[in-house]
Amino acid sequence: MRILITAGPTREYLDDVRYLSNASSGRMGHALAEAAMNAGHEVVLVSGPVDLPPPEGCEVHSVETTAQMKDACVAAFPGCDGVIAAAAVCDYKPRNRITGKIAKTGGPITIEMIETDDVLAELGRTKNGRWVVGFALEAESERENALQKLRAKNCDVVVLNRPAAIGSTDNAVELIDPNGTVVLELSGTKLEVAAGLIRWIESHLPS
């Protein structure tokens, strides 16, 4: 199979030096790319800014903003069998990016925020026979929220993980299908979890 994998955070700039982002290390997405290649698959890795070398031999597209990640994924997806969307994209961005650097004023400032592009929803909307595996990082009503994400984004399955995974070398996940059934539970190093997910995809999703 040829698999599109997204990894890492995205950044949304307030001005030319400051940005909004999150603490995603990109380890899960990079582990998935490594596990897929170890299993003999081709990988297209679209990664936000991370301090990790990409697995040797995969096609890499480095991006910063959510819009850049969406554009790279939309371009690559038609040539792939499916996507594993492990990236932690920013949900909001400033309505207007300031040129230069915002100066201190001695008082509070207000920045109007708008939603970013929904990368996963766009891939789900245009999958046309390809499969879509989403990731949902949830801290409360976990399975319910993950299932809502699966349905809203038109995923085939969704991987539920939790805030403890951020920045960690280990992970514990549940794979949930459209009926809300937990079809797989995995824990261990992120590479071990990634290898288990790849094996499940090989057995259950079309190539």
57 in helix, strand or coil? coil
Interatomic CA distance for residues 45 and 112, integer angstroms: 32
Cβ atoms of 29 and 61 within 8 Å: the answer is no
List CB contacts of 106: < 8 A, sequence separation 6 or more.
none
- d(C-alpha 35, C-alpha 206), whole Å: 18
Question: Is residue 100 exposed (0-12), middle (13-18) or buried (19+ Cβ within 10 Å)?
Answer: exposed
- Are the beta carbons of 22 and 93 closer than 8 angstroms? no
Tokens 């040129």: give the residue.
99
C-alpha dihedral (188, 121, 22, 164), degrees to nearest 10: -30
Active site residue 22: yes
By CB atoms closer than 10 A (0-12, 13-18, 19+), residue 98 is: middle
At 143, list the tokens: 């399975």
Could you say which of 22, 128, 145, 161 is catalytic?
Answer: 22
Pairing of strands 170-176, 113-115: unpaired
As annotated, the active-site residues are: 22
